[in-house]
Amino acid sequence: MKGLYPFFPLPLYTAQQYTDIEKRKKERRRRNAGIDAMKKMILVTSPPACGKTYISKQLAENLKHVVYLDKDTLIPLSNRVFIAAGQEINRSSDFFEENIRDYEYEAIVDIGVEALAYDDIVLINAPFTKEVHNEETLERFRTKLRKKGAKLVVIWVVTDPEVCHERMIQRASDRDTWKLEHWDEYIKTIDFSIPEPLKRLDAGHDLILFYNSSDAEFDQSMKTILPLLEEDGEI
């Protein structure tokens, strides 16, 4: 009949099949445009209570083809180590520093490296307090990523210390109990300046500053940074 067209049912795909199809389309567009895909591992880092978790989740929700990882997911397992060893659960203790801390970071980075085999971007939310001050550790991360054809991108969250104090009080997390009870002692141990190794951009990583001391700063940072992270190749 005039004006009528034969009906062809659309194929039904599983979520994974649809994801794979979209990924292949994206790769074809890159090849046709002469662009080499650059996978990225993004570390969202800063001293505690600067807003890393919220920022990380907002970035992950707005990025395409991203795997989101949060090191805090490992805390229940780490707490069992405290209990098994007959130790008080204190993430500021010598026991934590000697027996748990570094293994949490190595585990979450290794999981992220593996995930890059399946998607373009891995975003990790964690302080990386020691790691970003240690050039050897950063180079170890970069070496792991180079083997996957990926680049290290560090987002350093810049927040005023007093704003961090207020946020720590508001979130009322068990892991902050000791810090809040000994705030004057604790804050002396925290360096809010940009770590020197991160400033060495010739070392093979990218550094992005995310300003987050107010809602206005957050909005502007999101507007500026999201397009950079979506780009292929160098930032």
Q: Spell out the per-residue pLDDT of the chain, length 235, in tens.
A: 455 545 445 555 566 665 666 656 655 554 444 334 589 999 998 888 899 999 999 999 999 889 999 998 999 999 999 999 999 999 889 999 999 999 999 999 999 999 999 999 999 999 898 999 999 999 999 999 999 899 999 999 999 999 989 889 988 888 788 888 988 898 888 888 999 999 887 778 899 999 999 999 999 999 999 999 987 655 5
pLDDT digits (tens, 9 = 90+) for 54-99: 999 999 999 988 999 999 899 999 999 999 999 999 988 999 999 9
The pLDDT of residue 8 is 46
| Residues 112 and 69 sit within 8 Å (Cβ to Cβ) | yes
**Maximum C-alpha span of the chain:** 83
The confidence score (pLDDT) of residue 86 equals 96
Contact yes or no for 155/50 (Cβ under 8 A): no
Structure tokens at 92: 């500021």
Residue tagged 């990218």 (tokens)? 206
Please state the domain extents for the chain: 38-230
Query: How many of the other CB atoms lie within 10 Å of CB of 218?
Result: 19
Strands 150-158 and 39-45: parallel
Q: What is the pLDDT of residue 128?
A: 92
What pLDDT shows up at residue 5? 46
Q: What is the DSSP string of 197-233?
A: HHH-GGGSEEEEEEE-SSHHHHHHHHHHHHHHHHSSS
Domain 38-230: which CATH number of 3.40.50.150, 3.10.129.10, 2.30.180.10, 3.40.50.300: 3.40.50.300
